[in-house]
């Protein structure tokens, strides 16, 4: 009899424990309680299982391994998302443009492109961003923080993507190839700009003279012709230039550097354009032709000088 009583009492206690546990969690959420605190960083959680998962950050433990590439994760949910890279599964679809994503957070960020929502604002300059990661990267402009360092030349960067692009300078990697001419580039943006050579697209137009350009940087440089802006100044003679390349070439006058050599006579030049012009002496190339008498020249300046002969011939003569 007593054994039977204690058996049923034990079952009842077990049932009460399970039921009470099921009731406690929703109550904790509604009350805003976080009874499980991390002993390392004091971050608190509503559930013990979340605390256990969080502790993996401090311990470095990654118990969930991908069975394809062996990459390890601290959370099972991260492993599930990662495995979609191998399977190609994209279960989250944008209801505006039907673009599909492997994880829900990427879809949420993408939707902000359509909505224009930018919930993350910089406290310094009030510039707003659609993603928190973009805000964190932007804030490094104000703080000067550059946490990503190249292990070859020690150059530091504020974001990881810039470091990855920079490393291709050392490795020579060019993963972006033009499908028309097979020319390869280290940056996707460079490939996009290059493709406009084949398509003839020039989406950037000068608002002064309507001249169009295939890339934004060329438009910015062109605008300096109209504004007279010369932001690049020589530290030796204070001569100013509208382009950085012009300053670099000019500085070779002071340093005496001549990095471009003729492979025929070994004559050296401070800039590449002078070398190209010089090589026409050896090749006999004359690409500049007079449209009046068809005489050809190896330099444009020589053609312009020659054309004055025809303009003088066309001057009206005095009969008196």
φ, ψ for residue 252, nearest 5 deg: -70, -20
Q: Provide the pLDDT for residue 12.
A: 37
Confidence at residue 315, expressed as pLDDT on a 0 to 100 scale: 55
How far apart are alpha carbons 228 and 205 in whole angstroms? 18
CA atoms of 87 and 93, how far apart (whole Å): 16
What are the structure tokens assigned to 57, written together?
């950050």
8 A C-beta contact, residue 110 and residue 99: yes
Structure confidence at residue 211 (pLDDT): 96
Instruction: Note whether 145 and 158 are within 8 A (CB).
Output: yes
Mean of the per-residue pLDDT values of the chain:
87
The reported pLDDT for the residue numbered 5 is 37
Q: What is the pLDDT of residue 26?
A: 57
> Do 176 and 186 meet the contact criterion of CB atoms below 8 Å apart?
yes
pTM score of the predicted model? 0.50
Q: Residue 229 has what pLDDT?
A: 95
CA 258-262-263 angle, 5° bins: 130
How many whole angstroms separate alpha carbon 139 and alpha carbon 147?
Answer: 12
Residue found under tokens 């601290």: 74
Residue 233 has a pLDDT of 96
pLDDT < 70 regions, the chain: 1-30, 312-320
């Amino acid at each position: 009899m007593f054994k039977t009583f204690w058996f049923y009492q034990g079952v009842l206690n077990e049932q009460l424990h399970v039921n009470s546990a099921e009731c406690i969690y929703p109550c904790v959420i509604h009350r805003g309680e976080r009874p499980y605190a991390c002993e390392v960083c004091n971050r608190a959680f509503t559930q013990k299982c979340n605390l256990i998962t969080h502790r993996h950050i401090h311990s470095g433990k990654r118990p969930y391994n991908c069975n394809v590439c062996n990459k390890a994760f601290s959370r099972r949910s991260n492993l599930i998302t990662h495995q979609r890279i191998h399977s190609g599964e994209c279960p989250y679809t944008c209801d505006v443009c039907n673009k599909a994503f492997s994880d829900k957070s990427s879809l949420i960020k993408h939707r902000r492109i359509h909505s224009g929502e930018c919930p993350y604002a910089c406290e310094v300059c009030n510039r707003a961003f659609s993603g928190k990661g973009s805000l964190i990267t932007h804030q490094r402009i104000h703080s000067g923080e550059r946490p990503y360092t190249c292990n070859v030349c020690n150059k530091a960067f504020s974001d990881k993507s810039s470091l990855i692009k920079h490393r291709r300078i050392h490795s020579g990697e060019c993963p972006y190839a033009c499908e028309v001419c097979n020319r390869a580039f280290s940056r996707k943006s460079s490939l996009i700009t290059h493709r406009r050579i084949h398509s003839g697209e020039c989406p950037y137009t000068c608002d002064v003279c309507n001249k169009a350009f295939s890339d934004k940087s060329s438009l910015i440089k062109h605008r300096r012709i109209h504004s007279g802006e010369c932001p690049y100044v020589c530290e030796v003679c204070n001569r100013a230039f509208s382009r950085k390349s012009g300053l670099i070439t000019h500085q070779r006058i002071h340093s005496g550097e001549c990095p471009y050599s003729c492979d025929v006579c070994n004559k050296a030049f401070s800039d590449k354009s002078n070398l190209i012009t010089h090589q026409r002496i050896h090749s006999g190339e004359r690409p500049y032709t007079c449209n009046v008498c068809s005489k050809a020249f190896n330099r444009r300046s020589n053609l312009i000088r020659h054309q004055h002969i025809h303009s003088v011939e066309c001057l009206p003569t005095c009969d008196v």
